[in-house]
A and B are shown apart, each in its own frame.
Chain A
């Protein structure tokens, strides 16, 4: 019964204040990019939540494959020598 909407889905990213990264806030529908950024303003910054907005067409986002999760994110596991906490011998030395 319904007329198809066909307005694409957009993901919205909000920078809450200068110095912080844009953070994913949610999504919305809009006919085009210009309207999407305006709808994002109306929907996601009604309470001073942001100083800057990004909108990205959801279909343009490439994400890592969750099925590869284990292999994809395995490599950094166990490489604790990448973290300062690994180095115990220098503990207690000032400004190091």
Chain B
């Protein structure tokens, strides 16, 4: 459970006998679908891949707080305000569970946070779109959390123990997130013309980005194969996207709304959902930092970090004084 130091990559190209033994033990764990734990030997690329994935996941939770926090103070009923506040707070908690898992791989939270603040780390690009209306709280819950949950449930069985355990906790807690989003839209869909319009507009804006949350198509996602071989990923991007689009195609009917995709249909021959071509150029551009809200999202984190520095320092100084007086 204590983070262990990252393994030094071997200096020579030829693995030593010990390395070979360690690699064999690791392979055996993966082969029998057992869990890898923090202090186990693991190949450097496995550690790197996981550190990147888990920390990106954590960053996404933390950045993902912002579009919804944007509406807490304006929530149109006190019940909705409570729910939204609890949800955004959960996201902070989920970020923390994930940082906690990432730290067991040997990178400190400080370092991970620094990667985020300096723009070296990625996070889910969907949070770089602004939450413009109250209905976005519904669409984010239903579509964005829905896609996230579809992604996350299989990750509960990820080969790296701390990641899987964090995901179990997160999935359990998130079970309410998607529902509350759907119910926001449901209330709007049964409301005034203005509310219906608001709901449809939010669905229109979040549909495509939510489908892209599963990542590029399988034939353009070279890292996926390795992640699947390591039992980190259990299903391919396209498999998960298929399941998700199938679910929301049905759910949208309950809302009496439509998905902005005239091409969407189930192909009985191919046994798969056909959806419109997704705009991967835009996706890549948002990832590069050119989304509407990239700058705003990062600056909010930097500001919180900057403004909080004196508080963190004071608490550290107090702890040091206390420790000293205990010794004396």
Contacts and interface: CB of A to CB of B under 8 A. Distances in A.
Interface of A: 1-7, 9, 11, 24-29, 31-32, 35, 43, 46-47, 58-59, 61, 63, 65-67
B103 interface: yes
Contacts of A26: 96-97, 100-101, 165-166, 169
Interface centre among A5, A32, A35, A58 (most CB of B within 10 A): A5
Interface in B281-328: 305, 309, 312-313, 315-316, 318-319, 322
B238 interface: no
Contact of A31 (B1, B100, B117, B315): B315
Nearest to A59: B2
Interface of B: 1-3, 37, 39-41, 89-90, 93, 96-97, 100-101, 103, 109-110, 113-114, 117-118, 165-166, 169, 173, 305, 309, 312-313, 315-316, 318-319, 322
28 contacts: A1-B114, A2-B113, A2-B117, A3-B305, A4-B110, A5-B312, A7-B315, A24-B1, A26-B100, A26-B101, A26-B165, A26-B166, A27-B100, A28-B100, A31-B318, A32-B315, A32-B318, A35-B315, A43-B93, A43-B96, A46-B173, A47-B173, A58-B2, A59-B2, A63-B2, A66-B39, A66-B40, A67-B41
Interface centre among B2, B113, B118, B305 (most CB of A within 10 A): B2
A26 B3 CA distance: 12
B110 A2 contact: yes
Nearest to B317: A31
A38 B2 CA distance: 21
Contact of B103 (A2, A9, A31): A9
Given A35-B315, A46-B93, A58 B3 contact: yes
A25 B162 CA distance: 10
Nearest to B40: A66
A73 to B, nearest CB: 13
Contacts of B305: 2-3
A2 B319 CA distance: 21
B8 to A, nearest CB: 15
Contacts of B100: 26-28
Nearest to A3: B309
A61 B4 CA distance: 12
A31 B37 CA distance: 27
Nearest to A67: B41
Given A28-B96, A66-B39, A3 B318 contact: no
B109 A1 contact: no
